[in-house]
Structure 1
Amino acid sequence: MKNHNDPISVTELNTIMHDVVDAAFDYPVSVIGEINNAMISANGHEFFTLKDESSSIRCIRYASLVFEKNIIEYENKEVIITGDINYYVPQYGKESFGQVIVSKIVEYGEGKLKEIIEATRKKLENEGLFEKENKLTLPKFPMCIGVITSKDSDALQDVLSRLKDRFPISNIIIYPTLVQGKDAPKNIINQIKKANLDKLCDVLMLVRGGGSLEDLMCFNDEDLARIIYKSDIPTITGIGHQPDITIADYVADVSAETPTAAAERITPDKKDLLKNLIEYELHLSEKSKSMLQNITLKLHFLKSEIEKFNPKKLINEMKLNYHNKDKEIRYTTKNIIDNKINSCNIMTKNLGLVSKFLKNKLGTMQQNESVLKMNLSTKLNSLFNLKKNHFMSLSKEILNLNPNKILKKGFAIIRNRRGEIIKKKIDLMNTSLFTAEFHDGKVKIETKK
């Protein structure tokens, strides 16, 4: 064995260090630190640096050990890695270094808490607990405000001071509760339930001051979120400071950045109210004056309308109207009667003249009638005799043209079998059967050729 004072080679030193490191730990070893410089090689192996406030060490996780998250997703997160410590001695004279061959990675501290919060948030969001249409509307003038917070907290004092300054007429009920630790969610849930059973408050405030993520974890409780969602009283949250957002903020009907901001959000400012009241008073005064003027004008109008229907005035007007109508009727009636009398006199005179004219006309017509009758009788007799002679002449001529009269003289009418009269010799020679018609009958005659 070499003396400890004897120099050794670099290779020998690296070999000793490798053996020392290998024998120094009970494997596997767990190490806490923050992941940086994460990268993934082409064959899927992951390389990164694990560091704390003072130092860092190289790490490698082989592709066969990567199951869920890849190393990039852990960048800048505090984790606990589990694996074997290895002092790596490369070949060809390259630099040796210590590293951890990682088999497991688990988030630690705030990183783990954020992962839990995000999982709960996504679950509740998928169930619809954050939907706007499900949120209640805050009252404009809350006459009773319930404050759920620690009874000894600065947040409570800030809220009470702000409420008193802005809207001092509201009644405030304090529901004291734990706002930190494992028992806090159950405490807060019980106070929300109590407020809903009391049915005294118009709005509930869930508030606390700032703190670390771990301090505020009670406000990320799933059961608490569901109770806030089910509350029949509108709920506003004012938890922590501006960057702090909890699941309670997501599910509340309204969320504010701080407890003081929540107090301002749910109350009207008394200064604004006073200003509005003064404006309303002026407006009401002007409106009242305007309405009074309109009513006065309307009363004058109605009075004048009523005067039109005064009974005494109406009776006098009716009397005057009656006398005028009576006078008018009398005058009109007299004119009508006078006109009728004049018309009757004129008609009587005209009737006399017409009667005389008609008598003269009648005498003349009677004379003319006798002459006409005589002339008509003469003309009728002459016409009758003329027509009678003409008729007798025609009758004699018709008798002379009667075929039977001719046949009696020994003539006969020859017809072929179709009943046609045979007028020519040649037609008779071509006919084998014909009929001879005499004045006393017909005879069929058949010839032989």
Structure 2
Amino acid sequence: EKMEIAGEGDLKRKYEDLKKKLAGEGIFSEENKLELPELPKKIGVITSPSGAAVRDILTILKRRFPIIPVIIFPVAVQGEQAAPQIQNALKKANLRADCELLILARGGGSLEDLWAFNEEIVARAIFHSEIPIISAIGHETDVTISDFAADMRAPTPSGAAEIAVPDQQDWMKSIENISDKIITIITQQINSKSQLSDWINKRLSQSSPKMTVKRQMEKSNNLRKMLSNSILQNLAKQDKNIHQLKSNLNEVSPRLKIHVQLSRIKELDQKIVSCSDHFLEGLNNRMMLASKTLNSLSPLRTLDRGYAIARDAKTKNVIMSADTIEIENDIEVKLAKGEIKVKVIEKHSD
């Protein structure tokens, strides 16, 4: 006579057959897994509304990031109606399309107790879900078909909640680090631009500038002070905003406000860089104008019009009168291009 495998042995055989079948279809393939969102806007939990699993999940989510809303999709997690209800809940969650992450969970139990999560309709519903799913069925030693089909397996329902959301304290530290980096960059830019302005002022002072150049220097210093004051005021305001954000996070941890503040910090950085570039461009234009003014006043420009400068070859003094030189003296004549040496053979006084 033929002996039939019954009870738990029969369930194990069905489990292995279905696992082999679905694996052959690629339902467990890693390349088909969806990536979990870093910070989901809303989380759906598919489980029994009265079990310990849902209480553990809600407790962990509230502790780690309390502002994320959670929707409970109540289902039976044991018995004949469990698998169809789980399948329908997965379809309903996908039709609503307001959750960015789903957690499928239940507490521990025997293979028979967990059998709803080894049903083919549940595995296929998980595979076809367009929303990433974390499977958290039973204890760490319990492995179901749903665990293989899901995008991520958690050892327990509490572990699923830990995976689903980051710790808000870690996010606050990240914001503080970003703020510190922005302040450091801005301070470095201020110091760099100040050094450049000092160097420009020194070069102008060494070029014997006229009143026009002096006024340009004074205007440059004023503009630099105005820029520095404006940047410092913006930094103080931004620092105040960051402290306010931290305070708000400690109270309610508003995710949207965090993104808004980060955008404002980025926009402020861009405005500061744009303002610095505009200031340097204006300063360079004023330097070019001052340089042209100095060149127009240079005595060397007179030589370009055909004049020359005569100096005594020995004393190097500029000769202003024929009475200051003698016949046979050597003199040097500076032209617009080059210099010549001549000897006095004759002189006439006016």
TM-score bracket relative to the smaller structure: 0.5 to 0.7
The one of 32, 40, 56 equivalent to 1:142 is 40
Counterpart for residue 269 of structure 1: 167
1:314 aligns with 2:212: no
Counterpart for residue 183 of structure 1: 81
Counterpart for residue 346 of structure 2: none
Counterpart for residue 68 of structure 1: none
**Greater shift after overlay, 165-174 or 288-297?**
288-297
Change (3 A) 1:296 1:229: farther
1:205 aligns with 2:99: no
Counterpart for residue 343 of structure 1: none
Report 1 or 2 for greater relative contact order, CA contacts < 8 Å, sequence distance ≥ 6.
Answer: 2
Change (3 A) 1:113 1:299: farther
CA contact (8 A) 1:179 1:208 kept: yes
The one of 296, 302, 323 equivalent to 1:323 is 302
Identity of aligned residues (%): 39
CA–CA distance in 2 between the matches of 1:298 and 1:248? 65
How much does 1:118 deviate?
0.7
CA–CA distance in 1 between the matches of 2:196 and 2:121? 67
Q: Which amino acid aligns with 1:192?
A: L
CA–CA distance in 2 between the matches of 1:161 and 1:226? 30
Counterpart for residue 114 of structure 1: 12
1:157-177 Cα distance to aligned partner (Å, 9 max, x none)? 110000010111211111111
Q: Per residue, is there more strand in 1 or in 2? A: 1
CA–CA distance in 2 between the matches of 1:316 and 1:270? 62
Question: Secondary structure of 1:105's partner?
Answer: coil
1:199-254 Cα distance to aligned partner (Å, 9 max, x none)? 11111000011111111100001011111001110000111001100000000000
Larger Rg computed on CA atoms: 1
Runs (5+) with no aligned partner, structure 2: 201-279, 310-332, 337-341, 343-350
CA–CA distance in 1 between the matches of 2:75 and 2:182? 47
Counterpart for residue 257 of structure 1: 155
How much does 1:274 deviate?
2.7
Counterpart for residue 78 of structure 1: none
How much does 1:319 deviate?
4.6
Change (3 A) 1:307 1:175: same
Runs (5+) with no aligned partner, structure 1: 1-102, 334-338, 340-449
Q: Which amino acid aligns with 1:145?
A: I
CA–CA distance in 1 between the matches of 2:286 and 2:56? 70
CA contact (8 A) 1:143 1:169 kept: no
How much does 1:304 deviate?
6.2
Displacement over 6 Å in runs of 4+: 329-333
CA–CA distance in 1 between the matches of 2:188 and 2:97? 44
CA contact (8 A) 1:155 1:209 kept: yes
Task: Please give the residue correspondences for 1:20-35 in structure 2 after superposition, counting only pairs within 5 Å.
Answer: none
CA contact (8 A) 1:139 1:203 kept: yes
CA–CA distance in 2 between the matches of 1:316 and 1:155? 83
How much does 1:326 deviate?
1.9
Question: Secondary structure of 1:219's partner?
Answer: helix
1:136-156 Cα distance to aligned partner (Å, 9 max, x none)? 000111121111111111110
Counterpart for residue 125 of structure 2: 227
Change (3 A) 1:299 1:240: farther
1:35-68 Cα distance to aligned partner (Å, 9 max, x none)? xxxxxxxxxxxxxxxxxxxxxxxxxxxxxxxxxx
Counterpart for residue 248 of structure 1: 146
When normalised by structure 1's length, the TM-score is: 0.48
Q: Which amino acid aligns with 1:249?
A: D
When normalised by structure 2's length, the TM-score is: 0.61
Counterpart for residue 129 of structure 1: 27
